[in-house]
């Protein structure tokens, strides 16, 4: 009984953490949509990627604080939970580069395959409309755009990857696996990871594609973490993806301000 109680507590807290993550994403996305609609008249839902990234700042902070609290009560530091070890950072970077390739192959295969299943011969042209909705764009001064992008993107680059990995492949996965089978925990957290990304898509077809692709990413990442026993290499792979995908939001307004490209 003494051993069962901590397992039950970990199981319940894992669900609390996952519920807070998904619930706060929904609430913040709706909030950002209402603010953008009131301020600009743009009512496309969900709001475009820049606003979604800005909304993730408080979500990531909340989740990181919560998971840190849960871990500290178990006597575990964030560094230990991530698997940070002296003398292994260089190897972890190399592992991260390998996992970046391994994770992106099935991810891109699902994206491409789903688009072709949905659109058939029209799939090549559909790529231009599925992942970008012109109706969600907000015209603004490049300087204002740069400030908003810096506020949104820099914290996103720094804390989104470790936070999501701690929530989904760390505390969440371990907590659910304490009561359910490891396979059930992997599937559950991966489905929730995919569900979270629905609100980051630009169109309804994009929502389906994001759900499937990020669920597959979550499945593969969870298997890697369970086999390797540490989060850090997958965090590094996740970091690289986040930096690569979000850095254009900063580069674009800088190019506009410098005159290298015309302002939109």
Give pLDDT tens digits for 177-234: 999 999 999 999 999 999 999 999 888 899 999 999 999 999 999 999 999 999 999 9
Residue 221: Cβ within 10 Å count: 30
Give pLDDT tens digits for 113-149: 999 999 999 999 888 888 887 777 778 888 988 998 8
Q: Could you tell me where the beta strands, DSSP code E, fall in 166-245?
A: none
Q: Which of 1-10, 25-34, 71-80 has the lowest mean pLDDT?
A: 1-10
Better-scored residue on pLDDT, 194 or 261: 194
pLDDT at position 159: 95
pLDDT at position 222: 98
Better-scored residue on pLDDT, 44 or 94: 94
Residue 176's alpha-carbon distances to 8, 76, 145, 226, 240, in angstroms, are 9, 18, 41, 13, 28
Domain boundaries, the chain: 4-77+88-258
| Token pair for 246 | 């979000």
- Using the predicted structure, report yes or no on whether residue 3 has a pLDDT greater than 60: no
pLDDT at position 264: 62
């Amino acid at each position: 009984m003494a051993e069962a109680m901590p397992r039950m507590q970990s199981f319940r807290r894992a669900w609390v953490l996952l519920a807070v993550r998904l619930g706060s994403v929904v609430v913040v996305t709706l909030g950002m949509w209402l603010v953008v609609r009131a301020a600009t008249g743009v009512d496309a839902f969900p709001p475009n990627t820049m606003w979604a990234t800005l909304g993730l700042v408080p979500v990531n902070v909340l989740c990181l604080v919560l998971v840190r609290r849960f871990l500290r009560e178990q006597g575990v530091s964030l560094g230990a939970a991530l698997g940070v070890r002296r003398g292994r950072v260089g190897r972890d970077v190399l592992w991260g580069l390998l996992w970046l390739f391994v994770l992106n192959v099935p991810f891109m295969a699902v994206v491409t395959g789903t688009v072709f299943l949905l659109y058939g011969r029209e799939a090549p042209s559909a790529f231009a409309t599925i992942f970008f909705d012109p109706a969600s764009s907000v015209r603004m001064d490049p300087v204002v755009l740069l400030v908003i992008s810096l506020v949104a993107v820099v914290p996103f680059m720094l804390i989104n990857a470790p936070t999501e990995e701690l929530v989904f492949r760390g505390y969440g996965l371990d907590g659910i696996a304490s009561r359910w089978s490891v396979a059930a925990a992997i599937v559950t957290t991966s489905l929730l990871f995919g569900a979270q990304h629905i609100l980051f898509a630009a169109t309804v077809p994009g929502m389906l594609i994001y759900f499937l692709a990020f669920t597959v990413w979550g499945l593969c990442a969870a298997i890697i973490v369970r086999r390797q026993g540490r989060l850090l290499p997958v965090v590094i792979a996740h970091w690289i993806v986040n930096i690569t995908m979000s850095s254009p939001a900063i580069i674009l307004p800088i190019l506009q301000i410098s005159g290298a490209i015309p302002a939109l």
